Structures are given as C-alpha cells and as structure tokens.
C-alpha cells in the first residue's frame, strides 16, 4: 500500500504551538473523523482510510508518538492511502489549517 503524507504546520521550523485540547475539540466535530487517542484520529465509517496525529516536533520536524497528550502541538500529520482520492485528504487538511491559521505541506516521499 502506498501512502500520501500531508503536514499542517505554522512554518518549516515548527516555531508556533497550539493547544492539543483546542484542536481535539475542533476535530471531534468533524463527521469524517473518529478520536482514537488523546493525540490520534482516524477515519469514520465510510470515509477514506486516514491516520491523523497531533505532535510536538523538533525544529527539524522529528517526533515520536506515545499516545500521551503533550498539551501543545506544532505539527499535525495526516497519512492517507494513495489509492484514494487525494482531494478528500486535502479537504480535511484545509479545514485544520484554516482553524489553526497554518500551512499545508505535501511531504509524500
């Protein structure tokens, strides 16, 4: 299976943070998403497969996911199936970016 990777971030060095609880409350209202943990969401039934993770990344973009809420985030990573319509993933990323006032970057290798 091939994947599509989209990052929602403030800038290239992840210099700004937002509250994870604030974004989590926003994402809970999205019918295409289901909360999987304090920092992870997945697709709802009938929606294209998706893994969404809220993380606190280093300036270089490195991070680890523990499932524990770090309290603040500076990167939202969306991973989707390359066999699905990419527009579906971009729409979700665009809603998140608009809410946070951040940018979307396609980081698919």
Q: Is the pLDDT of residue 1 over 90?
A: no
Dist CA 92 CA 41 (whole Å): 12
What CATH superfamily is the domain 3-106? ZipA, C-terminal FtsZ-binding domain (3.30.1400.10)
Q: What is the pLDDT of residue 16?
A: 98
Domain-wise residue ranges, the chain: 3-106
| Secondary structure (H, E, C), 12-69 | CCCCCCEEHHHHHHHHHCCCCEEECCCCEEEECCCCCCEEEEEECCCCCCCCCCCCCC
Q: Which two tokens stand for residue 51?
A: 């893994």
Evaluate if residue 2 carries a pLDDT over 90: yes
Total-model pTM = 0.95
Token duo for residue 45: 């039934």
Summarised one tens digit per residue, pLDDT across range 46-104 is 999 999 999 999 999 999 988 889 999 999 999 999 999 999 999 999 999 999 999 99
Strand-strand pairing, 75-81 and 3-9: antiparallel
């Amino acid at each position: 299976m091939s994947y599509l990777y989209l990052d929602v971030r403030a800038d290239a060095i992840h210099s700004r943070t937002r509250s994870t609880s604030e974004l989590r409350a926003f994402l809970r209202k999205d019918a295409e998403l289901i909360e999987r943990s304090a920092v992870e969401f997945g697709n709802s039934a009938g929606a294209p497969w998706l893994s969404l993770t809220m993380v606190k990344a280093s300036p270089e973009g490195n991070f680890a996911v523990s499932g524990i809420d770090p309290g603040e985030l500076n990167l939202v990573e969306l991973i989707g199936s390359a066999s699905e319509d990419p527009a579906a993933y971009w729409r979700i990323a665009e809603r998140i970016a608009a809410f946070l006032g951040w940018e979307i970057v396609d980081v698919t290798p």
